[in-house]
């Protein structure tokens, strides 16, 4: 079981915290912990939160997440910033929502990285950390185990992205649907989740077929079998799927494979091993699709 450690500061925004906490508490295999420099922790919305004063032992599979706070209030001491930096140095992932990116910057984790934050804070973040590249008008950015998101509700998008990256799109889809999230993405395709980007439609038939593809994207999936499982003809499925997602079922499956392969390659896999892991018989097709930047 992986830990998700939320690092809280006074005047923390409830939704910055509650959104990701709901995602990780709904997904399987996570233990949620909360730590602060003093407790209780006042929130901007008026609810006081209780948190531990000592950090648990963390492993590389654990996540440290810094929710945002009311502008002009949040602050962390050097000891907390050192712990955040040390977790990343030990191979862990660190994330932030909204103003929480400032804590990652003060911990030295934004230097030379792409990042984002709430649109009202982007100029300040760029001025404060000139060696960082602040990406504007996107929901989240992931750069070498540092994941930053825009304001408030985008913390849900960030958390769903991390669940999809670790457990695959089918698990993230189940979490999103259980939370009744109208999930979508903006900006750079490489920072988006293919599965969630194409769930913003109302076709039950297409949702069912996407569930099947999401769960078995590495398997050979024929159009005939997908159509039979959905109770429609192949022609009808192709028409409905294309209208809802802009892609055929095959191109959707290919996009899921490429997205997962990119994640594996980014974590040290060779192109050949990544291609096999996601269901390609050899690396040539993966190379062609990566070069083509298949949209989905």
Contacts of 157 (CB under 8 A, 6+ apart): 139, 140, 149, 183, 185, 196
Question: Where exactly does CATH 1.10.10.60 map onto the chain?
Answer: 201-292
* Cα–Cα distance measured from residue 58 to residue 68, given in angstroms and rounded to the nearest whole number: 22
CATH of domain 201-292: 1.10.10.60
Task: Read off the pLDDT of residues 6-52 as tens digits, 9 standing for 90 and up.
Answer: 999 999 999 999 999 999 999 999 999 999 999 999 999 999 999 99
Residue from 15, 98, 115, 296 carrying the catalytic annotation: 98
> What end-to-end distance do the CA atoms of the chain give, in Å?
31
Around 206, how many Cα atoms within 13 Å sit in the side-chain half-sphere? 21
Q: Per mean pLDDT, which range of 30-39, 76-85, 134-143 is the poorest?
A: 134-143
Residue 98 annotated in active site: yes
Mean pLDDT of the chain: 90
Q: Per mean pLDDT, which range of 47-61, 150-164, 171-185 is the poorest?
A: 171-185
* Cα–Cα distance measured from residue 266 to residue 244, given in angstroms and rounded to the nearest whole number: 30
Query: How far is the CA of 271 from the CAs of 191, 216, 255, 262, in angstroms?
Result: 20, 20, 16, 9
Give 193's pLDDT tier (boundaries 50, 70, 90).
Answer: low
Q: Using alpha carbons only, what angle is made at residue 63 by residues 45 and 166, rounded to the nearest 5 degrees?
A: 115
Q: Is the pLDDT of residue 267 over 70?
A: no
CATH class of this structure's domain 2-167? alpha beta
* Cα–Cα distance measured from residue 202 to residue 294, given in angstroms and rounded to the nearest whole number: 24
* Cα–Cα distance measured from residue 235 to residue 82, given in angstroms and rounded to the nearest whole number: 58
Question: Where exactly does CATH 3.40.50.880 map onto the chain?
Answer: 2-167
């Amino acid at each position: 079981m992986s830990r998700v450690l939320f690092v809280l500061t006074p005047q923390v925004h409830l939704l910055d915290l509650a959104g990701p906490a709901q995602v990780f508490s709904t997904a399987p295999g996570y233990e949620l912990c909360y730590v602060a420099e003093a407790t209780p922790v006042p929130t901007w919305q008026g609810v006081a939160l209780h948190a531990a004063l000592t950090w648990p032992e963390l492993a590389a599979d654990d996540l440290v997440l810094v929710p945002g706070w009311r502008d002009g209030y949040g602050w962390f001491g050097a000891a907390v910033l050192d712990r955040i930096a040390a977790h990343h140095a030990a191979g862990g992932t660190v994330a932030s929502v909204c103003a929480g990116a400032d804590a990652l910057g003060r911990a030295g984790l934004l230097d030379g990285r792409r990042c984002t934050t709430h649109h009202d804070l982007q100029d300040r973040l760029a001025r404060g950390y000139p060696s960082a590249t602040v990406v504007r008008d996107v929901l989240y950015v992931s750069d070498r185990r540092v994941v930053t998101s825009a304001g408030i509700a985008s913390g849900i998008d960030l958390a769903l992205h991390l669940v999809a990256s670790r457990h695959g799109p089918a698990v993230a889809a189940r979490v999103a649907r259980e939370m009744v999230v109208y999930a979508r993405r903006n900006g750079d395709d490489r920072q988006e989740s293919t599965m969630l980007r194409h769930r913003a439609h109302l076709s039950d038939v297409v949702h069912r077929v996407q569930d099947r593809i999401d769960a078995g994207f590495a398997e050979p999936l024929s159009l005939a079998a997908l159509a039979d499982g959905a109770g429609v003809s192949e022609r009808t499925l192709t028409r409905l799927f294309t209208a809802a997602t802009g892609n055929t079922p095959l191109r959707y499956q290919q996009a899921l494979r490429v997205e997962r392969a990119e994640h594996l390659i980014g974590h040290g896999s060779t192109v050949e091993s990544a291609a096999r892991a996601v269901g390609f018989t050899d690396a040539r097709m993966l190379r062609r699709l990566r070069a083509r930047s298949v949209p989905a």
